């Protein structure tokens, strides 16, 4: 596993890409060969990504992680991370089939559904993840070069996002980005004064809140909110806040 794999990644500006206007269009080339699913070790999951995979497979998070993922503490974020584990024999995504198809197409992670688009989420104090105006300010998309010589596809941004249900999940993705950024800062602060065994306890509680304490039979958001509220109580206690 590459040591650089972690939550987040470069945004469009860092990659030298320009944001696509919400009412704009973009083009890319695709031969349908599946090369974008081969030799991938960088598919990092959000809690909502994992929840959707669990729902697609009708399996609980612990089993899905054990069978198809790897979990570790991020080298730069210092919080638990879950990624899809490449197949040992091929290095390909564990859900990439011999027919060049995705076995969980209707439950694929956001990064896969977006490709060849990339997404940037900007957060600020007081933002409302459910306010359409704040959503439009917070979330932007940019086109990445596929390096493919296949057929040229021309689409509006809205057509592409709506085709994969991406816009309807934007409030959840904003919450995830906001909460993870806050967690990273607080965990790094706690590392300076907690013992290793206490940090191990905290990492386990974060892992449960973000990934494990999610029942695919129930709606995602109420569970996630409860988990974050419980995690806040644990963090406050460790920080000595009453």
Residues in the chain predicted with pLDDT less than 70, given as ranges, are 1-4, 9-16, 241-242
pLDDT of residue 218: 98
Distance in angstroms (rounded) separating the CA atoms of residues 59 and 28: 35
pLDDT tens digits for range 64-77: 999 999 999 999 99
pTM of the model: 0.93
| Closest to 171 (Cα-Cα) out of 220, 207, 213 | 220
DSSP helix/strand/coil, 196 = helix
Helix, strand, coil in percent for the chain, rounding step 5: 45, 15, 40
pLDDT of residue 33: 84
Tokens of residue 106, six digits: 């209707």
């Amino acid at each position: 596993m590459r040591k650089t794999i972690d939550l987040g990644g470069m945004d469009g500006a860092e990659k030298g890409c320009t944001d696509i206007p919400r009412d704009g269009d973009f083009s890319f080339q695709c031969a349908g060969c599946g090369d974008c699913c081969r030799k991938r070790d960088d598919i990092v999951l959000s809690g909502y990504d994992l929840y959707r995979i669990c729902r697609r497979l009708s399996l609980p998070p612990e089993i899905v992680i054990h069978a198809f993922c790897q979990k570790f503490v991020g080298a730069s974020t210092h919080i638990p991370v879950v990624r899809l584990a490449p197949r040992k024999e091929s290095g390909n995504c564990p859900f990439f089939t011999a027919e060049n198809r995705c076995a969980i197409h209707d439950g694929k992670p956001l990064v896969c559904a977006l490709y060849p688009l990339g997404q940037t989420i900007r957060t600020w104090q007081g933002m409302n993840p459910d306010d359409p105006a704040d959503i439009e300010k917070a979330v932007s998309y940019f086109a990445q070069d596929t390096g493919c010589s296949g057929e040229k596809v021309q689409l509006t941004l809205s057509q592409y996002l709506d085709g994969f249900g991406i816009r309807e999940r934007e409030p959840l993705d904003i919450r995830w980005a906001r909460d993870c950024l806050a967690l990273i800062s607080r965990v790094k602060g706690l590392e300076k004064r907690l013992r290793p065994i206490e940090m191990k306890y905290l990492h386990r509680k974060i892992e449960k809140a973000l990934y494990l304490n999610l029942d695919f039979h129930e709606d995602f958001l109420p569970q996630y909110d409860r988990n974050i509220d419980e995690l806040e109580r644990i963090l406050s206690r460790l920080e000595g806040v009453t």
